[in-house]
Every structure is written in C-alpha cells, then in structure tokens.
Amino acid sequence: MAIILITGASSGIGYQTAELLAQNGHKVYGAARRMDKLEKLKSVGVEPIYLDITNEESCRKLVDTIIDNEGQIDILINNAGYGSYGAIEDVPLEEAKRQFEVNLFGLAALTKLVLPHMRHQKAGRIINISSMGGRFTTYFGAWYHATKYALEAFSDALRMEVKPFGIDVSLIEPGGIKTNWGLIAADHLAESAKGGTYEEAALKTATSMRKQYSGNMMSDPKIISKTISKAVSSKRMRARYLIGFGAKPLVFLHTILPTRIFDWLIMRAS
Ligand SMILES: NC(=O)c1ccc[n+]([C@@H]2O[C@H](COP(=O)([O-])OP(=O)(O)OC[C@H]3O[C@@H](n4cnc5c(N)ncnc54)[C@H](OP(=O)(O)O)[C@@H]3O)[C@@H](O)[C@H]2O)c1
C-alpha cells in the first residue's frame, strides 16, 4: 500500500486514476479546486483535498496536510492541466503565462515541496502526465504544446537528478482521450479568435475538436488510469508511456516525415 497524491482528480484521467488506485488498496489523496466533484470519490476511499496549483500556499498546505496525516508521500502523480488553444497573435501573454503556471510551474512547485520528503524516505515515484503533444504540435496549440515540451525536458532532467536518492520519474504521454479537456481547449480557441484575423480557421478547428471529443473516436480515460496503475505497481517504471488514440502512429509519423509534410497533415486533420 502506497501513499499517493494525484492532482486534477476532479475530472477525466485524474478522477479515473484516483478511483482505480484506491480500489487497488492504496491510500489516495485526490486534489483539485472543485471539491463538489471530488466528494463523489469519497465512496471508493479517496481522500478529497483542495488544491489550486497556481497558488504556492495552497500547494504547501496540501503537502503539509498529507505529511501530518501519513508521515510520507510515496507517489506524486502530477496530472492537473488544461489546453489553452488559440493563435499566438490572439492569445494574451497573460493567458499564456497562466497556461505555464498550471501545466508547468504549479507542477514544479508541488514537486519541489514533495521532494525533500521523498529524499528523506530514500524512495519515491513521480509520474508526470505529459501528452503525445509533448512530442509534436497541433494547429493553434502553441502554448499548450510549449508547456508539454517543457514538461518533457523538466521530467528528463529531474529523473537524472533524483536517481541517486532512490526516486524515479516517469512520463505518461496520452493520445486523444475522451475527457472535458478537448471541449475546454476548443472553448479557449473559439473565445480567443472572436472578431480576429484567425477567426474562420480557428472556429473550424474548434468545431472539429468538439466533434472529435464528443464522439467515440477518442480513447477511454480508463486506458490511461490502467497505465498509471501499471507504472505504480511495476518493479521499475518505464521513462515514458505513450498510449491512447493516435499517440503511437502520430509520434512515429512525426519522426519519419519531413516537417512541412507533417504540418500539412496536421492542418488537414484539424
Ligand atoms: N484528454 C486528452 O486528450 C489528453 C491528452 C494528452 C494529455 N492530457 C493531459 O492529461 C491531464 C488531465 O487532463 P484530462 O484529459 O483528464 O482533462 P480534464 O477532465 O479537463 O481534467 C483536468 C483536471 O485538471 C484540474 N485543474 C485544472 N486547473 C487547475 C488548477 N489551477 N489547480 C488545480 N487543478 C486544476 C481540474 O480540476 P479543477 O478544475 O477542479 O481544479 C481537473 O481535475 C492534463 O495534464 C492534460 O493536459 C489529456
């Protein structure tokens, strides 16, 4: 039985993962802002806990509470995130910075708070939810992909740094997963393009994203929760788990195709 903290547990991948890990017998703290959504996880034994990942005090309070209750944190699953889609010309830099605050700096703040405890324990696992979008870029996704590319580098550097302390770091790189993520990203895209130069193309892409994420094409979030559960229980985690709709073929195509052909393919599919 491990003591696990997972962020973004109020919805989608985080929700399913918190539920599965608790069912597997772990003590799971599920963190997010929407406490009403977390309440439902109580019935399967998940401990709901408030977190606004952009607020360092909130991160500190969360870690202190778990340490006070349990004396340790064995596994940190950094999952909270959203997609701030929009043309670079349209998205205010303030929003771009918010995207980085949630997807990277908040995650880094939480990781920094957990690391001393893991070092003290001489053991620990950090599982960062990146994306296939940490390996290639989609239309109008500049800031989102910038955060996920950054998370890939951050995680690779962290893995080397903490290895001597018995701590391991893994990246989960989901493909298209049927959660609210796509609808939230499409809303950001449509909103940011209103009345601007990119409106027509952006609205077309937003409509296509909404269609894709409300249809049956995308993978079930359970695929990702099972992969995370596998990483949690494995003797040795893989450095990367690339899994879910489109992930393996698209990363492969990105590797073998000339960049401009890959751009063309992505724009056509958007
Ligand atoms: N769905 C996909 O196709 C896909 C593909 C690749 C990667 N991913 C990644 O998977 C992760 C989970 O996404 P999902 O698909 O499960 O989306 P989701 O259903 O929208 O869930 C996102 C979670 O992030 C939390 N969150 C957002 N802002 C936060 C903040 N400021 N503080 C604390 N928590 C915050 C949300 O909780 P509250 O709003 O309640 O705070 C929510 O629980 C994300 O990192 C996403 O980038 C998703």
The reply to whether ligand 1 has any atom less than 6 angstroms from the CB of 180 is yes
The reply to whether ligand 1 has any atom less than 6 angstroms from the CB of 50 is no
Q: How far is the centre of ligand 1, averaged over its atoms, from the C-alpha of 254 (Å)? A: 25
**How does the average pLDDT of the chain come out, rounded?**
98
Confidence of residue 17 (pLDDT cuts 50, 70, 90): very high
The reply to whether ligand 1 has any atom less than 6 angstroms from the CB of 129 is yes
Across the range 172-198, mean pLDDT stands at 98
pLDDT digits (tens, 9 = 90+) for 26-74: 999 999 999 999 999 999 999 999 999 999 999 999 999 999 999 999 9
- Separation CA 37–CA 32 (nearest Å): 9
For the whole prediction, is pTM greater than 0.75?
Answer: yes
Confidence of residue 235 (pLDDT cuts 50, 70, 90): very high
Confidence of residue 263 (pLDDT cuts 50, 70, 90): very high
- The torsion angle over the Cα atoms of residues 173, 175, 180 and 185, rounded to 10 degrees, is 90
Q: How far is the centre of ligand 1, averaged over its atoms, from the C-alpha of 7 (Å)? A: 8
Give the pLDDT of residue 89: 98
Give the pLDDT of residue 149: 99
The reply to whether ligand 1 has any atom less than 6 angstroms from the CB of 119 is no
Q: Which residues have CB under 8 Å from 270's CB, separation 6+?
A: 138, 139, 140, 204, 205, 208, 209
pLDDT digits (tens, 9 = 90+) for 66-95: 999 999 999 999 999 999 999 999 999 999
Q: How far is the centre of ligand 1, averaged over its atoms, from the C-alpha of 133 (Å)? A: 14
- Residue pair 14/33 in contact (Cβ under 8 Å)? The answer is no
In Å, the largest CA–CA distance within the chain is 55
In order of 9, 131, 172, the CA distances from 240 in angstroms are: 21, 10, 6
Domains assigned to the chain = 3-269 (3.40.50.720)
Ligand 1 probe mutation, 15, 97, 179, most atoms within 8 A of CB: 179
Question: What whole-number percentage of the chain has pLDDT above 90?
Answer: 100
Across the range 19-31, mean pLDDT stands at 98
